[in-house]
Structure 1
């Protein structure tokens, strides 16, 4: 058994296409999205359509919630600028699809949320530690949201963040994902051509401030707000 975990696609169809092509090459057929299919970049419909076409289940991320349920981000005007554009272009079918997402998922022994187990949509596990997971039942945990790929072992418990497909924030601009074989995780990265992302964002009226961090896998000081 091999399961791919992808997360934080954020309307970046070019990155998603590269990741899915790599998973096809690796003959991985079971794929789970840990949330945030939408947000930030211009191809939200293409990302939704491809996940639906492949039957890829997704959890509800904070950006999926913003767009699907009419919410806004209290932390970031930039996020809301992108959401305002996406509200104009997303199809009603894809909007309704976002609204079907749950906030928890279990695949085998893996317990999965977008954020954390105190707030499944919007908790940031930026520095996961043993004490946090000691209070949780189970042994395998997966979440996204931070856009930072990581793998931690705390005694009998394992935590994996597959990183971000569409907007890495760990200094590596390549799209990120993880593979789980039922016992252990492998972390992977794949390069993709960003030029179309930039062109489509410019066409939509956004300048380099909104997409420039993709070039470097921008850290917190160089990227858009959460």
Structure 2
């Protein structure tokens, strides 16, 4: 399975258009969005192309293959705009004998350093910090794809899981860092 993982779009049509392009270019089977989809939040500046309604329309283009979790800036109104579920605090996806636990990362018990009870070899996916990277807690791989709209580490990014590897990529599809998921 080819799984594209993105987070923290914050209503940016500029970022959502790039995401739609990457979904097509990467020929993904599924898209996993880690929250903060339509609203910019009171602590963030308005992202480029801020238009939550148009952003929702762009995200809905891939609704049939999209799963999402709720971020700290998401609300019930967002669910009315989106054609895929987005109000769960977490979701679990199992593919290629790998368990992916996905959350936004802002809630107690669902953030790095305070992990749920996951089997060894699982992957804990989270956003919220707007900073991409890999880390490890015990035998659990932690992956933050960064933000595609308001990166706080300078480069808009997403993650792609395929063939036992997760790549962190720029919005142009260039690999920043790669990690084998089999530990």
Output the CA distance in 2 between the equivalents of 1:28 and 1:180: 9
Q: Do structure 1's residue 161 and structure 2's residue 144 form an aligned pair?
A: yes
Given candidates 101, 105, 113, the residue that maps to 1:111 is 101
Output the CA distance in 2 between the equivalents of 1:49 and 1:25: 19
Point out 4+ residue stretches in structure 1 off by more than 6 angstroms.
96-99
Partner of 1:49: 57
**SS where residue 24 of structure 2 aligns?**
helix
RMSD: 2.7
Partner of 1:101: 87
Output the CA distance in 2 between the equivalents of 1:116 and 1:181: 27
CA displacement 1:116-162 (0-9 Å, x = unmatched): 56254xxxx5xx45xx44x6323211011111001113442101011
Q: Do structure 1's residue 15 and structure 2's residue 15 form an aligned pair?
A: yes
Change (3 A) 1:98 1:190: closer
Which has the larger share of strand?
A: 2
Equivalent positions of 1:1-226 (< 5 A) are 1-40=1-40, 41=46, 42-55=50-63, 56-65=66-75, 68=76, 93-94=80-81, 101-108=87-94, 109-116=99-106, 118-120=108-110, 128=112, 132-133=114-115, 136-138=117-119, 139-172=122-155, 175-181=156-162, 183-190=164-171
Q: Looking at CA atoms only, which structure, 1 or 2, has the larger radius of gyration? A: 1
Output the CA distance in 2 between the equivalents of 1:24 and 1:98: 18
Output the CA distance in 1 between the equivalents of 2:86 and 2:159: 24
CA shift, 1:182, in A, is 6.4
Larger mean CA deviation between 96-105 and 1-10 belongs to 96-105
Tell me, which stretches of 5 or more residues in structure 1 are unaligned? Answer: 70-89, 192-226
Output the CA distance in 1 between the equivalents of 2:34 and 2:159: 11
Change (3 A) 1:117 1:29: same
> Are the aligned partners of 1:33 and 1:58 in contact in 2 as well (CA < 8 Å)?
yes
Larger mean CA deviation between 23-32 and 144-153 belongs to 23-32
Q: Size of the alignment, in residue pairs?
A: 156
Tell me, which stretches of 5 or more residues in structure 2 are unaligned? Answer: 41-45, 173-183
Output the CA distance in 1 between the equivalents of 2:163 and 2:90: 19
**SS where residue 158 of structure 1 aligns?**
strand
